[in-house]
Every structure is written in C-alpha cells, then in structure tokens.
Amino acid sequence: MRLSRRQVLRLGLGAAASGLLAGCALDTTGAPGSQGSEGLVFYSTQLATTEEAEAVRRQILAGFGRQVQFVSDSSASKMFDRVRADARAGSSSIGLLGALQGEFATLAKEALLRDMTDVVEQLGDRGFTRQYLDLARVDGRYAFVPWISASYIMAARREALPFLPAGADLQRLTYTQLLDWTRAIQQATGAPRFGLPAGEKGLLKRFLQGYAYPSFTGGVNTTFASADAVGMWEWVRAVWGTANPQSVTYGFMQEPLLSGEVWVAWDHAVRLVDALETRPDDVVSFPAPTGPKGLGYLPVLGGLSIPRAVADPQPSIDLIRHLTDPARVSTTLRTVAWFPPQDLATIPGGLPPGVGQEAETLQRMVGTPGAVASSLAVGLGGQSGAYDKVFTDAFRAIVLDGGDIGGTLATQAVALQGVLDTAKAACWAPDPVGEGVCRVG
Amino acid sequence: MAEVTEAVRAARTATGERRGGPQRWLPYLLLAPSVAYLLIFFASPMIQAFGLAFTSTTGGWGLESVRAMFGDDRFWPAVWTTLILLVVLLPLQFALALAMSMVITSRLRASGFWLYVFLLPLGVSELGAGILWYSIFVEQGWLNTVLQSLGLIDRPVIWLDYREPWRVIGTIVVAEAWRSTSLIVIILVGGLRAIPRDYLEAADVFHAGPWQRMRHVVLPMMRPTIRTALIVRTVLAFEVFATVVALGGTATDVLATQANRAYTEYQDAHLASAYGLVILLVSLVAVGIILVALPTRKERGQ
C-alpha cells in the first residue's frame, strides 16, 4: 500500500496528538479529589512537585502492606477546605495528612485533628529531636508526628569564591560581606550574579520574614517599621542591585545556579539540592549570613497527623509507623532531600554528597553563636496569605519600584496590623512571645 | 394534484406539526442540555463570583474587596498591561492570521502542509508555551546562544529584564502571537472557504488586482467571520495568564495573574472574584465595541 505525503503527515500528527492526550490523561492521577475506590488517602501539602510525588508513590510508600493513594497539592487553603468539609460531613475522605507545622497549628486550633500524643509515645524509639517534638505540640498535646525537616541556606558556584572580600569566612559571612562580595562579582564580570527566588513560585517572602528581618532587627512584626528595618531594606535594595533581574521569574534557585545565570543564591535546601547533587565540585553550600542582631533562620518542620473525622485510625497509624521507620527516612532523604526530624547520625547508609553538604551547612548554621530561630507564622489561619502579601508588597514598592522606605513601611505596617487583628494572632518567635494580639512596631 | 396536497397535509398532521404536539417542544428539548450546561457551569459560578466580590472575608456585604482591589498598587499597572497586550496583539495576530489563512486556502503546492504547521501551536498548552518561550528568552537561552554564535552580540542580553518593561512585553507578544494566532487562522480559513467562487471569478473578469480583490471582495465577504474571530481573540486576551507568569515573573502583572495570585497566594476568594468581575466587565465592553464597529449587513439595514 502506498501512502500519500498527506496521509503520512496525518498519521504522524495523529500519533503525536494521541501521545499528548495520553500524557494529559496520565496527569490527572495526582489531581486532588481523585479518590480510588479503596485504599488509604494520604494527602500532603508537601512533596508536591511531580518528581517528589513520584518518589513518594514509587519508593517511600513501597513495602507498606496496604494500598495508599498519595495526593499532593501545595495549596494550604485547599487542604483546610477539604478537612473542614470532611469534618462537617462527619466522615473523612483523607486517612493521613502531611503538612507543615503552621498548617497543623491552624487545624488543631479548630479541633479538626486527632490527639496524636499516644502515637508519638508509641514511636519513642524513633529518636525525634527534642526541638522538633516541642514544635509539634499545640496546647500541651501533640498535634502531629514530626516527619520531615529543612531550612533555607545559601549556595554559590566556585568561580564566585575568588571575589570574597578579604578576611571573609564563607561559613561565617555577615550581610555586609555578602553585599561586598556580590558587588565585587558584578564589577569583575560586568553582570549581576546574585539571585533570590522572587518569582511566582519563589520563597522570597521567607527570606524577608525569617532571615533579613530577624538578623537586622531582632524581630519581625514588633520591629516591622523600626529604624533597624529601614537599614535592612536599604541592604535589600543594595543587594538587589547586584542580583540578576531575571530573579523576578525564579522559583527554584538550583536551575539558575546550574546554568550560571546566578553565582550566589539563597533558597530552601530542597530547592538547591539538585545543583549540589549534579555538580558537587562546582557548587558549595554555606550558612545564611549574620546581621547586626544575629543569624536569623527559619527551621521548617513537616509532620503527619490524622483528621479527627477518621473513624478507624489504625491504618493511618500504621502508615505513620512506616513513614518514620529508619529505612524509609533514609529513602526520603535520598529521594526528595528533606531531612529527618532526628539526628542524622542515626540514618543508615550515609548521605549522598549534595545532601551531606547541605546537612553540614545546616548544622553549622544552627550552631553559629547568635543564631536566632524564627518560627513560621503561627495562628494566622486564613490570614497567612494576606500576611505574606504585606512583605511581598513592601518588597515590590521599595525594591522594584524604588519607593520611599519609611513611607512604604508606615503604610504596610497598617496593613500588617489589620492582618494580625483579623487573625487575633499573638506574637511568635523571634518577636517576644506573649498574650493578646501582636502589636506591629 | 389534490391527492398530493392531501397526502402532504396527512403527513404533517402525523408528525404533529400543526397540532403543536411533541414537534413543538423538540427544539427546546434539544436546546435543554446546552442551556443546563451553561446554567450550571457558567451562570451559577458567575452569580457566586458576584456574591463573593461584594462580600468581605468576615462575611458581611460591602465593597471591601472592590476597594482593596482598586487600592492595590498593582491594579492599574495590571489593567494597562492587559490593554497594551490587547492593542498590540490584536492587529498583529489578525494580519498574521489573514496571511496564514490565504496561504492555506491558496491553490499553491503543499498548502495543506502549511495548515498542519500553522495549527501546531494549538496542541501546546498555555503553560507549555510559556515554559518553551522562557527557555528561548532566558539569559542562557536559545536566542542568546544563536545570536552569539552568529556574532551579533558579544555577551548574553537579559531579555526578561523587568526594568525594561517594553522588552518583557515584547517577549510576551511574541509568545502569545505564536501560541494563539492559529485559533484565528482556523476561524478565518472557514470564512475564506465559504466565499463563493463566482465572486472571485467575477473579480478576475473585471481585472481586479490582488489588493482590490482583497479590499472589495474578500474582506467584505469575511465580515461576519472576522467579527467572530475578533470577539474570540479579545475575550481570550483578557485571560492571558501563563505566558505572562513565565516571562514576566512577579514584576509584570495582567488582570488574570492578579486574580490568580489573589486566590492561590493571598487565599482571598473575595479579592479574586473582584478581579474576575473586572475581567468580565472589560470583556463585555470590548465585545460591545466590536459588535458596534463591525455590524453585519442585516444590522446595518441592508
């Protein structure tokens, strides 16, 4: 049979189109709400990228006796809506929840979670770090079982190291030295090579809330518009002048680090690990810098918990046991590069080079004299988005649009107080923890 | 003859045409599924959005969300960028689409081949197109690599530099033109194929040149088609989203990115709905302008 040119083309296009459609069809497996006819639903706001979700399905859940459906969606508001709807319906479509400490705090305040104290006690042999166990408690009871942890660190390409200012120690940089360094790189290469994840999916807001503010002002909300804060914003504006302007499109800093568009970057450890794993000889990680008020940093803790509406919690408890098992913890570290909430020395099989480097950096950062751990905003509930908006709006007005720092902070301080008032949120670390609604300073 | 008339009458009676039986309801019955579809999936969310836009996070009725939207520093830049994109893209895409559809409907060799080539972008999702063009325009991307290898530039140009808004808008225009022109092509090809040959042949008889043929025969005959295409493209222009996010990042805003950010990032469905309403209103006004500016023959009273 002879095929005409047109027929061949049509066949080719048809094949391509069916491939595309098949791809689309496959993609729906992770869609929230897609519930199998049976099996335990493990819903997580973490490990939500395609690669992470695949690692969970194929490797981390492997070996668990029952069928588990892993559904991940990074939107906390969707997760809240679903758990609330289940509670109203009186039966839970979700067997196990994976989420961040702050997200669980919101659910626990609404009494939507089972008391997990008995499970944490059963898992005494797991050796969870005391610091993380403390974070997992809400009103004296465990709201969740610690599961994964991380923090934000810095990374640089080796070609940036010769431009370090004289006398600067990469492992103990100050904010001033970091600025001098990125300026020196810009002068020498003629290109801005610092990078911050200021894109749509980027976590720049966490840099402002957990790193810059605590390091420069010793607080966040109570020092929001203080004189120290003005100094901090001047630093941010100056360092932004040495940043690749494409930073407004960056979500994960590992890609621009690998491509060389950025030589020095700050980001979530998980969002840098590919650069360290792919090019361990060319990329180095180091702690966040120290400011006038210490080294502010933001530990991130993810946990596992069971919605109160679950009728039979035993399968979910079995799954928690499986996920916190040392072998599974090792797999989690290896595949998705989240650290376990226990001492790394207890993890069997050693660490891959990039992950190992990050772990060392993290330990060094936490151990730096004057390290100030912030907690993620707690008790904001539905206002957490509005809270973040205050910081991104201030960044945009001051840094991108070149607005007046004092004036912008005064305007945004009003918005921030409005958010805290609506949420009736008390201050959290590094602000002095106290009773009553937090007052913006 | 009388027998035939009688037979026709009998047939009509049998089918219920005159009595107004099931036949009378048939059109409504056939329309019902699409009406139900529109009510459930378009009208009801739209009404809900109205409700959301005019209630506050605390639940009371009021203009809080609308005020918050107008008070947002990003609101007016978003409106302007959306309108600029529309004004630049619309004529550009129409000129391109008209040329492309002429190629497809011409009797040139391989004109069918071009149909597939021109329509290929339709198979790429908006987000896919955004990522594709990001990889072209990014500093270490394909465009700079090609320009450097040709010796046209010494060092990579940062095309996606937010401090040069026109440059960023230019990249979005290119990506959008590539992605969505094919939709207009499909509509125009349909219109071109519907022009009766007699008219074109008549134009040939009177020795009309290509330009005269276009001006006096093709374009007037295509008026309803062009109107449809304009409306479709205008409405879509207000929904442009993923290419803006990919290429403009957080420094370039359009109404749709603002609505999305309000919902997903700020978790404020009320603010997002207020943005949705603005998009709806602006789309309606734009469609109204098109309908008035391009009346069909009947509407012009001819």
Does the pLDDT at position B55 exceed 60?
Answer: yes
How would you write the pLDDT of chain A (441 residues) with one tens digit per residue?
A: 444 555 544 545 444 444 444 433 333 333 333 334 468 999 999 998 888 999 999 999 998 988 999 999 888 878 988 999 999 998 899 999 999 988 898 888 889 999 999 999 998 888 888 878 888 888 889 999 999 988 999 999 999 999 999 999 999 999 999 999 999 999 999 999 999 999 988 999 999 999 999 999 999 999 999 999 999 999 999 999 999 999 999 999 999 999 999 999 999 998 999 999 999 889 999 999 999 999 999 988 999 999 999 999 999 999 999 999 888 888 888 888 888 888 777 777 778 888 888 988 988 888 888 888 888 777 787 788 889 999 999 999 999 999 999 999 999 999 999 999 988 888 888 898 877 899 998
In this predicted structure, what is the pLDDT of residue B4? 53
Is residue A6 less than 8 Å (CB to CB) from chain B?
yes
Inspect the interface and report whether the beta carbons of B250 and A191 lie closer than 8 Å: no
The pair of structure tokens assigned to A303 is 């946990």
Nearest to A386 by CA among B270, B255, B79: B270
Asked if A60 contacts A99 with a C-beta cutoff of 8 angstroms, the reply is: no
B267 → closest Cβ in A248, A382, A397: A382
User: Best mutation site among B139, B161, B163, B268 for testing chain A: the one with the most A CBs within 10 Å?
Assistant: B139
In this predicted structure, what is the pLDDT of residue B258? 93
Is A211 exposed, middle or buried (CB count within 10 Å of its CB: 0-12, 13-18, 19+)? Answer: buried
In this predicted structure, what is the pLDDT of residue B8? 55
User: Best mutation site among A246, A383, A424 for testing chain B: the one with the most B CBs within 10 Å?
Assistant: A246
Is residue B256 less than 8 Å (CB to CB) from chain A?
no
User: Best mutation site among B167, B267, B270 for testing chain A: the one with the most A CBs within 10 Å?
Assistant: B267
Residues on chain B touching A386 (C-beta within 8 angstroms): 266-268
Counting one residue from chain A and one from chain B, the pairs whose CB atoms sit within 8 A come to 85
Residues on chain B touching A9 (C-beta within 8 angstroms): 113, 116
Nearest CA in chain B to A190: B155
Residues on chain A touching B140 (C-beta within 8 angstroms): 259-261
The SS3 assignment for A420 reads: helix
User: Best mutation site among A248, A263, A392, A395 for testing chain B: the one with the most B CBs within 10 Å?
Assistant: A248
The helices-and-strands tally (H runs, E runs) of chain B is 16, 0
Is residue A245 less than 8 Å (CB to CB) from chain B?
yes
The SS3 assignment for A378 reads: coil
CA distances from B32 to B20, B25, B38, B45 (A): 18, 10, 10, 19
Asked if B251 contacts B162 with a C-beta cutoff of 8 angstroms, the reply is: yes
Q: For A324-432, where are the alpha helices, taking DSSP H only? A: 326-336, 353-367, 384-395, 405-423
Is residue B122 less than 8 Å (CB to CB) from chain A?
no
Tell me, what's the ipTM?
Answer: 0.81
Residues on chain A touching B57 (C-beta within 8 angstroms): 382, 422
Between CA A43 and CA A37 the distance in angstroms is 16
Inspect the interface and report whether the beta carbons of A200 and B134 lie closer than 8 Å: no
State the angle between helix axes of B269-293 and B223-237 in degrees (0 to 180), rounded to the nearest 10: 160
Residues on chain A touching B254 (C-beta within 8 angstroms): none
Q: How many CB atoms are closer than 10 A to CB A254?
A: 25
Inspect the interface and report whether the beta carbons of A388 and B246 lie closer than 8 Å: no
Å between A245 CA and nearest CA of chain B: 5
Residues on chain A touching B251 (C-beta within 8 angstroms): 248, 396, 400
Q: How many CB atoms are closer than 10 A to CB B299?
A: 10
Give the contacts of A178 (CB within 8 A, at least 6 positions apart).
Answer: A239, A264, A289
Tokens 């004109």 found at = B111
Inspect the interface and report whether the beta carbons of B249 and A422 lie closer than 8 Å: no
In this predicted structure, what is the pLDDT of residue A1? 40
Is residue A411 less than 8 Å (CB to CB) from chain B?
no
Between CA A47 and CA A150 the distance in angstroms is 12
Is residue A408 less than 8 Å (CB to CB) from chain B?
no
Between CA B145 and CA B274 the distance in angstroms is 43
Asked if A298 contacts A209 with a C-beta cutoff of 8 angstroms, the reply is: yes
Over residues B6-23, the pLDDT tens digits come to 655 655 555 545 555 678
Inspect the interface and report whether the beta carbons of B268 and A17 lie closer than 8 Å: no
Inspect the interface and report whether the beta carbons of A245 and B268 lie closer than 8 Å: no
The SS3 assignment for A71 reads: strand
Provide the pairing of β-strand A264-268 with A152-157: antiparallel
Residues on chain B touching A81 (C-beta within 8 angstroms): none
Interface of B with A in 73-102 (CB under 8 A): 73-74
In this predicted structure, what is the pLDDT of residue B264? 83
Over residues B44-54, the pLDDT tens digits come to 988 888 888 88
The pair of structure tokens assigned to B213 is 């043929």
Residues on chain A touching B160 (C-beta within 8 angstroms): 245-246, 249
Q: How confident is the model at residue B199 (pLDDT cuts 50, 70, 90)?
A: confident
Inspect the interface and report whether the beta carbons of A249 and B249 lie closer than 8 Å: yes
Nearest CA in chain B to A258: B140
The one-letter code for the residue type at A401 is D
**What pTM, to 2 d.p., does this model score?**
0.82
Residues on chain A touching B73 (C-beta within 8 angstroms): 393, 396-397, 401
